[in-house]
């Protein structure tokens, strides 16, 4: 029986994730302790989003959820704590930020936080938070017209990958004398076990209790899986292996691994590691 084997939340876009035993579903993705996936983002001096693609050290910024704050740690840095409460409307400072082609309003975090990120990453930058009144949606081209909200993700609320897909890749890597890669290199939201490799590519839906998830777009991969989360440094890139069998005409020949996914039913339902999943396949 297919099962839910791992859950991950990424409070800050492109920084380290948090492995969870359970998470609450929102239309915009996973949430825990009122912290939403990709609720925060690091931007440069022009308000453009920053990621591990250009700044691999972001992988070393590790969030920890506390009662009233999000604590951040990074090598060689003092810990810093980000308040979880939203700013008072009279005191809030906002900034227009850009993530891919979308421009949205965000809360501008304080100068102390900006200095912390600037010091660690070695370039002027600051931390922003998705504004409570801001709106951003996944591409309806891929969602069949469903308005699926998302925060600062690359484009969709969740990413689903199966254990078997990673095992298939690792078998190919090991056959060439290369090290296997852990799942966190690929930054999924939900990991499923008990299915065949790449069944997620062909799934019409995933039903987990009262929850219905719909995979909508194969995930084109960038160089981020080549970054070691333990060191924040680029290493061997698995894209050369994936290129031999994962070129996908649905995304103009991109190399895909995992499925971007939206929520159809089950807002505020809780997902738990170990739950059974009913996978409905839809072959073309």
Residues of the chain with pLDDT > 70, as a percent, come to 99
Going from the N-terminus, what domains does the chain have, and what CATH number goes with each? Answer: 3-22+138-281 (2.40.33.20), 35-130 (no CATH)
Averaged pLDDT for residues 136-159? 97
Q: pLDDT, tens digit, for every residue of 234-276?
A: 988 999 999 999 999 999 999 999 999 999 999 999 999 999 9
For position 90, what pLDDT does the model report? 81
How far from chain centre, in Å, is Cα 161? 12
Per residue in 123-141, pLDDT tens?
999 999 999 999 999 999 9
pLDDT in tens, 55-72: 999 999 999 999 999 999
Q: For the chain, give the mean pLDDT.
A: 96
99 pLDDT exceeds 60?
yes
Under the banding of pLDDT at 50, 70 and 90, the label for residue 91 is: confident
Please provide the DSSP assignment of 105-145 as one string.
Answer: EEEE--HHHHHHHHHHHTS-EEEEEE-TT---B--HHHHTT
Distance (Å) of CA 43 to CA 96, 141, 208: 10, 27, 36
Tokens of 143: 């969602």
Residue 284: the pLDDT is 55
pLDDT on residue 89: 83
Residue 105 CB neighbour total at 10 angstroms: 16
Q: Is there a contact between 34 and 43 (Cβ–Cβ < 8 Å)?
A: no
Residue 78 has pLDDT above 70, yes or no: yes
Maximum Cα–Cα distance across the chain: 60
Sheet strands side by side (includes 22-26): 35-36, 29-32, 22-26, 270-272
Q: What is the pLDDT of residue 283?
A: 66
pLDDT for res 160:
98
Contact 60, 74 (CB under 8 A): yes
Is a pLDDT exceeding 90 seen at residue 37?
yes
Pair 35, 65: CB distance under 8 Å: yes
Question: Could you read off the pLDDT of 187-224 as tens digits, one per residue?
Answer: 999 999 999 999 999 999 999 999 999 999 999 998 88
**In this structure, how many other beta carbons lie within 10 angstroms of the beta carbon of residue 198?**
20
Query: What DSSP state is assigned to residue 163?
Result: H
Written as one string, the DSSP assignment of 51-101 is -TTT-GGGGG-EEEE-SSEEEEE-TTS--EEEE-SPPPTTT--EEEEEETT
- Alpha-carbon distance of 90 to 272, in angstroms, equals 39
pLDDT in tens, 173-187: 999 999 999 999 999
């Amino acid at each position: 029986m297919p099962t839910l084997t791992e859950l991950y939340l990424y409070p800050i876009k492109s920084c380290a994730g948090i492995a969870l035993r359970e998470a609450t579903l929102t239309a915009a993705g996973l949430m825990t302790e009122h912290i939403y996936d990709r609720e925060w983002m690091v931007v440069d001096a022009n308000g453009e989003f920053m990621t591990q693609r250009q700044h691999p050290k972001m992988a070393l910024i590790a969030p920890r959820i506390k009662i009233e704050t999000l604590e951040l740690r990074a090598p060689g840095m003092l810990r810093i704590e980000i308040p979880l409460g939203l700013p008072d409307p009279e005191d809030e400072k906002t900034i227009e930020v850009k993530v891919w082609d979308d421009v949205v309003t965000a809360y501008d975090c304080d100068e102390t936080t900006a200095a912390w990120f600037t010091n660690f990453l070695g370039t002027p930058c600051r931390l922003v938070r998705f504004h409570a009144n801001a709106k951003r949606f996944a591409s309806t081209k891929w969602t069949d017209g469903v308005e699926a909200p998302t925060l600062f993700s690359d484009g969709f609320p969740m990413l689903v990958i199966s254990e078997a897909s990673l095992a298939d890749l690792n078998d190919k890597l090991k056959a060439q004398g290369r090290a296997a890669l852990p799942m966190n290199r690929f930054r999924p939201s939900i990991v499923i076990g008990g299915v065949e490799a790449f069944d997620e590519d062909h799934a019409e839906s995933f039903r987990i209790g009262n929850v219905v998830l719909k995979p909508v777009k194969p995930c084109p991969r960038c160089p981020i899986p080549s970054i070691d989360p333990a060191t924040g440094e680029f290493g061997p890139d698995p894209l050369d292996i994936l290129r031999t069998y994962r070129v996908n005409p649905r995304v103009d020949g991109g190399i895909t691994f995992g499925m971007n996914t939206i929520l159809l039913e089950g807002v505020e339902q809780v997902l738990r590691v170990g739950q059974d999943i009913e996978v409905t396949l839809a072959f073309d």
